[in-house]
Structure 1
Amino acid sequence: MRGHDWINTCLPDELIVEIFRHLDSKSTRDACSLVCHRWLDLERLSRTTLRIGATGNPDLSVKLLARRFHNVKAIHIDERLSISIPVQFGRRRGSDHSVPTLKLHSEKGVSEDGHFESNSLSDAGLSALGDGFPRLEKLSLIWCSTVSSLGLMSLAYKCSFLMSLDLQGCYVGDRGLAAVGKCCKQLEDLNLRFCEGVTDTGLVELAQGCGKSLKSLGVAACAKITHISLEAVSSYCKSLETLSLDSECMHNGGILSVARGCPSLKVLRLQCINVTDDALIAVGTHCLSLELLALNSFQRFTDKGLRAIGNGCKKLKNLSLSDCYFLSDKGLEAIATGCRELTHLEVNGCHNIGTIGLEAIGRSCLRLTELALLYCQRIGNHALLEIGKGCKFLQALHLVDCSSIGDDAICSIARGCRNLKKLHIRRCYETISCLPNHACMFLDHLCLVGDEALIAIGQGCSLQHLNVSGCHLIGDAGIIAIARGCPVLSYLDVSVLQNLGDMAMAELGEGCPLLKEIVLSHCRQITDVGLAHLVKNCTMLESCHVVYCPGITAAGVATVVSSCANIKKVLVEKWKSPPPPQCVVEKLPKVCGWKCAPNGRLGLTLFHLLKLNCWD
């Protein structure tokens, strides 16, 4: 019956709360909470996660949020985030009394008596957080610089159900960490990145207290944490599955202990310049469940260590090698032979790895889904020919500064890897030089990847993400082929393509209606006409970069902003900035502001329709 409230009459509170919990987006939940006071209160009960940026008074923020959201189990406080829009809680129509404003910015404020107030979460705020959310299970305190062991101790005593704790950049000490180990017996995940105040004493006590439950540990730039801590972890944390370690002080001893004492280890990320082959041999011998291995900036291990990983870690699925100068094709061949379950491979700046190693991967690792080759000058076309033949499930390919890879390789990928969804190619060029009078004169950069490769991709792959920035041989033909063959394309970066014109933009508008982000900067042949054709059908566009496009004027920019109801960001030169159109403001009633901020010497302007995301 019209005018009768059947939902509120028939449905109990518990059922409405359960419905709210199944809503898939914050905006949908926000809309439901505005229906009536009952729905507002019930929707608050369904919230389980809060996200808070840097605030004018974070301690007050915690208290206010605790009054309204009673079932929160996860809180993320990140004081790197800075939001300048004031948010008022509790203001009622027709009333002069309101709850104090939360000013979301990270600078110091001045109190009424003239003293400076810190805008960082304090120990008192951390204690209030424990009082307000006693059932808290997950807490992230990112760069909360004024929090100390006292606040962490108070929190630990009140939040005994804590399962995940991220203290990145917090200057907490050993007493706080020991209290967590004593009180939080269910702790599974601990991140101590950049916690400079923590020493072996605190980490050893934590391992003794909650070692039975701890599954993940991250340590970086903690100069006072040595092999003693890892030896304690190996003794008490038998269920450890993930270890991320970045330390210049760590030697083989700590890694050897963890490898021997934590047989359940599945994820190992190491950036330790003093670790040698002996440590990796221990990992290959004892960590037979290892699935992810990331080795960064290793200067003291060779193919011998990688060969041990290939011989022992048969379940390895994800391998990342970055700046490992003494690895060669032999090490990668050992991985290919032993780790046939490999799905993700990244080779970054390993200058002694060449074509032969990647050919072995293509022949043996048939389940590969993502391949990233960054700054690999010695890897040539034949490597990707083998990848195209063998890796039929490849979905993402990243090529950066690979000077020996060209059209033939990409065409092979297009013919063989029909599941390819993401293609990222940058700085794949050769240098043309001449030597007049025995002096090397740089002439030009030519990208080896051109229209032929993109035509093959468009015929065989349903791409969703394409970045061909700076590939000068690509023009209208290649992008038109993508537009006609990749209807689900959502991201496109064609910046610095001098031969790209309006015809390609028109084809993109017709063929790629799902496009959400496009980068056209430094494209001199594109004009307002092409941009108008693009946005006519690409109504889902959210971000558009058109910096230094001389054919695009303020009128073209205004066309983008007024035609795309979902637009959030337009990057242009300052003089092309049109005023905020009223039609966009009317279409987006939740937009809180229109911000035009100059960006340095370039005179760029960022249009950003700001939305508040203080909590989920």
Structure 2
Amino acid sequence: MNLHAHIHTDIIQTYTLFVAKMRGRDYINPALPDELILEIFRLLDSKTRRDACSLVCKRWLNLERLSRDTIRVGASSHPDLQIKLLARRFVNIRNVYVDERLSISLPVQFGRRRRGGDPFVPTSLNLPYAMEKSESEGGETGSYCLSDAGLAAIGDCFTSLEKLSLIWCSNVTSAGLQSIAKKCSSLRSLDLQGCYIGDQGIGALGKCCTQLQDLNLRFCEGLTDAGLIELAVGCGKTLKSLGLAACAKISDISLDAVGSHCKSLETLSLDSEFIHNTGVLAVAKGCRLLKVLKLQCINVTDEALQAVGIFCSSLELLALFNFRRFTDESLCAIGKGCKKLKSLTLSDCYFLSDTGLEAVATGCSELVHLEVNGCHNIGTSGLEFVGRSCKCLSELALLYCQKIGNHALSEIGKGCKHLQALHLVDCSSIGDDAICSIAAGCKNLKKLHIRRCYEVGNKGIIAVGENCQFLTELSLRFCDRVGDEALIAVAQGCPLQHLNVSGCHQIGDAGIIAIARGCPQLTYLDVSVLQHLRDTAMAELGDGCPLLKDVVISHCRQITDVGLGHLVKKCTLLESCQMVYCPGITAAGVATVISCCTKIKKVMVEKWKVSQRTKRRAGSVISYLCVDL
């Protein structure tokens, strides 16, 4: 939040306090113009702050509603009705997000619910009342998916709509999209991921929404070349971003139209087994302003990617997934032609070797992000060139790279002084020497995630604790050589906020107690599968880390209700607690979590440990790893 927002927030807080002290005698409010209050609401950085400030008086509440420009709807009963209810209160909405993957659960309620609220405000508390009223008046019941009627309501109510996101809205059809296209001609961004939309709906967008810039059609299985071609012709001058995945009826013909008409295209995400060289060549030749290219096309070969290197000189991000038909020649072309490349992801590209990575490293010296995942022919020498050439590298991820050894990271440590994030997964040849080199050279490191790198032990992590004073995230999953000594060093030198030591069997009470005493800003902790961890450590965490929001203690056999109670009574901000397969934790411990943590959103535990009373109080936040044990 900028300085102006801070100033306006102070004004609001001072004014609210003044009103409270004057016991209802308001001397300031009449003198404040609506424009000033609207500007204050515009600058506030969170919904919580806006909601709190809107409670000053009815005038402020109405002005806050006028200033609101975004609504979000998850998967819940009667989304069509929710849209209508929201439209009554918020008339200046420009952004609507509907995501039916996300469930909206009621918050934990302690005590009886107050009656008599405004039935038309669609909150989680009084929406059920509105549902009952609608049903009693003959409304449709049992609907859990947004329909064409809901889309029509969006079009009728929000005619100034600029962004619309419909994620996995399975009941939406072309008819609903046509109504949106006709009524919301100012639409600039549309996400239809997982919607079964046909050519008629997409064609209507091309005819009516001539300002459309961003379009996501991933998993729109009803779409064919005819619809996408009509869209490309209609929106070609403005379209900047296009996403396609699992659209079996989309072929090279569509991409040829995109290349011919969408000259301003900057981002293309393409996942298809039906696209060949012809389609990618057309885009590369026609869309010279392309900055972001993500490809997962098993039938595309070197010819297409070489064209990208030749024609797309503005390319900044390239991600290649599951390519088995191109070689180092492609990366050599990228290194030669794409000098502005900043991010490169290579995943399961089996025929790439150190030669290709060397070409990119020496040719694309502005590289900031590099991920190498499952490219089994890339080894130490390729990474050495990255360390020598890419001085701006800030994030490096090496996943399932068995041939990359310690010396590669030694070069990274020497050359990449700005490295802030390092991710290592199943890199069996990387050990303590590599981590020591990173710690000594990359003192700005903020994130270190290591998983199943069995050669990494105390020596390397101690070096991190001694050198990386900005480290806030540390994950050491199943690194069995890391013990308490390493965590003690980290606690003394790093301001951790996120710690995951799941499966590090040598870590016990001493290490976690050191973290509790040295890292008061900790918000996330995963200590699952630590067999030597006891209640003492839990009590220390409660005393030392009051900001904890997420805790995972599953498979910790020595933690009991006593330790859990100490933890949750002090950590009142806790939102998530996972504690399956902890034999010392009983139904009483689960009840303690529910009663002490008023902000809790998720509790994962065995079903038999949840009493009927706990289910009644917080059934919506409890989930079960195993239903019956």
TM-score of the two chains, using structure 1 as the length reference:
0.89
8 A contact 1:244–1:269 mirrored in 2: yes
Out of 208, 211, 227, the position equivalent to 2:252 is 227
User: C-alpha distance in 1, partners of 2:59/2:523?
Assistant: 36
For residue 595 of structure 1, report the CA deviation from its aligned partner: 6.4
Alignment of 1:561 onto 2:568: yes
| Per-residue deviation, residues 359-411 of structure 1 (Å, max 9, x unmatched) | 11111111100000000011111110111111110000000000000000000
Out of 279, 304, 308, the position equivalent to 2:304 is 279
Listed as ranges, the matches of 1:365-384 within 5 Å are 365-384=390-409
User: C-alpha distance in 2, partners of 1:554/1:323?
Assistant: 46
Alignment of 1:450 onto 2:420: no
Q: Equivalent residue for 2:13?
A: none
8 A contact 2:155–2:180 mirrored in 1: yes
For residue 323 of structure 1, report the CA deviation from its aligned partner: 0.4
Q: Equivalent residue for 2:625?
A: none
Q: Equivalent residue for 1:529?
A: 536
Listed as ranges, the matches of 1:497-512 within 5 Å are 497-512=504-519
| Per-residue deviation, residues 133-162 of structure 1 (Å, max 9, x unmatched) | 111110100010111111000011111111
Listed as ranges, the matches of 1:1-40 within 5 Å are 2-3=21-22, 4-40=25-61
User: C-alpha distance in 2, partners of 1:514/1:386?
Assistant: 33
User: C-alpha distance in 1, partners of 2:93/2:279?
Assistant: 38
For residue 203 of structure 1, report the CA deviation from its aligned partner: 0.6
Out of 477, 490, 496, the position equivalent to 1:482 is 490
Q: Cα gap change, 1:320/1:96 in structure 2, threshold over 3 Å: closer, same or farther? A: closer
Q: Equivalent residue for 1:77?
A: 98
For residue 9 of structure 1, report the CA deviation from its aligned partner: 2.0
User: C-alpha distance in 2, partners of 1:183/1:273?
Assistant: 35
Out of 569, 579, 582, the position equivalent to 2:591 is 579
Q: Equivalent residue for 1:299?
A: 324
For residue 112 of structure 1, report the CA deviation from its aligned partner: 9.1
What amino acid maps onto 1:499 in structure 2? Q
What amino acid maps onto 1:309 in structure 2? I
Out of 430, 433, 439, the position equivalent to 1:408 is 433
Q: Any stretches of 5+ residues in structure 1 without a counterpart?
A: 429-446, 612-616
1:468 aligns to what SS in structure 2?
strand
Listed as ranges, the matches of 1:161-560 within 5 Å are 161-428=186-453, 447-461=454-468, 462-487=470-495, 489-560=496-567
Going by fraction, where is helix more abundant, 1 or 2? 2
Q: Cα gap change, 1:97/1:412 in structure 2, threshold over 3 Å: closer, same or farther? A: closer
| Per-residue deviation, residues 240-296 of structure 1 (Å, max 9, x unmatched) | 000000000000001000000011000000000000000011000000000000000
User: C-alpha distance in 2, partners of 1:98/1:135?
Assistant: 26
For residue 42 of structure 1, report the CA deviation from its aligned partner: 1.4
What amino acid maps onto 2:544 in structure 1? N
What amino acid maps onto 1:578 in structure 2? V
Q: Cα gap change, 1:603/1:308 in structure 2, threshold over 3 Å: closer, same or farther? A: farther
Q: Cα gap change, 1:16/1:165 in structure 2, threshold over 3 Å: closer, same or farther? A: same
8 A contact 1:86–1:102 mirrored in 2: no
8 A contact 1:568–1:609 mirrored in 2: no
Q: Any stretches of 5+ residues in structure 2 without a counterpart?
A: 1-17, 622-629
Alignment of 1:126 onto 2:151: yes
Q: Cα gap change, 1:142/1:96 in structure 2, threshold over 3 Å: closer, same or farther? A: closer
For residue 598 of structure 1, report the CA deviation from its aligned partner: 4.4
8 A contact 1:496–1:521 mirrored in 2: yes
8 A contact 1:570–1:608 mirrored in 2: no
For residue 118 of structure 1, report the CA deviation from its aligned partner: 3.0
Counting aligned pairs with the same residue, the percent is 60
| Per-residue deviation, residues 283-342 of structure 1 (Å, max 9, x unmatched) | 000000000000000011000111100010000000000000010110001101101010
Between 196-205 and 599-608, report the one with greater CA deviation: 599-608
For residue 50 of structure 1, report the CA deviation from its aligned partner: 1.0
For residue 356 of structure 1, report the CA deviation from its aligned partner: 0.8
What amino acid maps onto 1:292 in structure 2? L
Between 241-250 and 545-554, report the one with greater CA deviation: 545-554
User: C-alpha distance in 1, partners of 2:271/2:521?
Assistant: 40
What amino acid maps onto 1:338 in structure 2? G
For residue 609 of structure 1, report the CA deviation from its aligned partner: 11
CA RMSD of aligned residues (A): 2.7
| Per-residue deviation, residues 482-518 of structure 1 (Å, max 9, x unmatched) | 000002x110001112221222222212211110000
Q: Cα gap change, 1:582/1:475 in structure 2, threshold over 3 Å: closer, same or farther? A: closer
User: C-alpha distance in 2, partners of 1:204/1:599?
Assistant: 53
What amino acid maps onto 1:539 in structure 2? P
User: C-alpha distance in 1, partners of 2:409/2:27?
Assistant: 62
Q: Cα gap change, 1:22/1:584 in structure 2, threshold over 3 Å: closer, same or farther? A: farther
Q: Cα gap change, 1:376/1:581 in structure 2, threshold over 3 Å: closer, same or farther? A: closer
2:577 aligns to what SS in structure 1?
strand
TM-score of the two chains, using structure 2 as the length reference:
0.87
User: C-alpha distance in 2, partners of 1:114/1:602?
Assistant: 40
Going by fraction, where is strand more abundant, 1 or 2? 1
For residue 7 of structure 1, report the CA deviation from its aligned partner: 3.7
For residue 103 of structure 1, report the CA deviation from its aligned partner: 5.3
For residue 97 of structure 1, report the CA deviation from its aligned partner: 8.0
For residue 13 of structure 1, report the CA deviation from its aligned partner: 1.6
For residue 116 of structure 1, report the CA deviation from its aligned partner: 6.5
For residue 214 of structure 1, report the CA deviation from its aligned partner: 0.3
| Per-residue deviation, residues 206-238 of structure 1 (Å, max 9, x unmatched) | 111111000000000001111111111111110
Q: Cα gap change, 1:376/1:160 in structure 2, threshold over 3 Å: closer, same or farther? A: same
For residue 93 of structure 1, report the CA deviation from its aligned partner: 7.6
User: C-alpha distance in 1, partners of 2:62/2:258?
Assistant: 45
User: C-alpha distance in 2, partners of 1:140/1:466?
Assistant: 34
Aligned length: 580
Q: Cα gap change, 1:60/1:472 in structure 2, threshold over 3 Å: closer, same or farther? A: same
For residue 24 of structure 1, report the CA deviation from its aligned partner: 1.2
8 A contact 2:263–2:286 mirrored in 1: yes
| Per-residue deviation, residues 390-437 of structure 1 (Å, max 9, x unmatched) | 111000000000000000000000000011110000011xxxxxxxxx
What amino acid maps onto 1:579 in structure 2? A
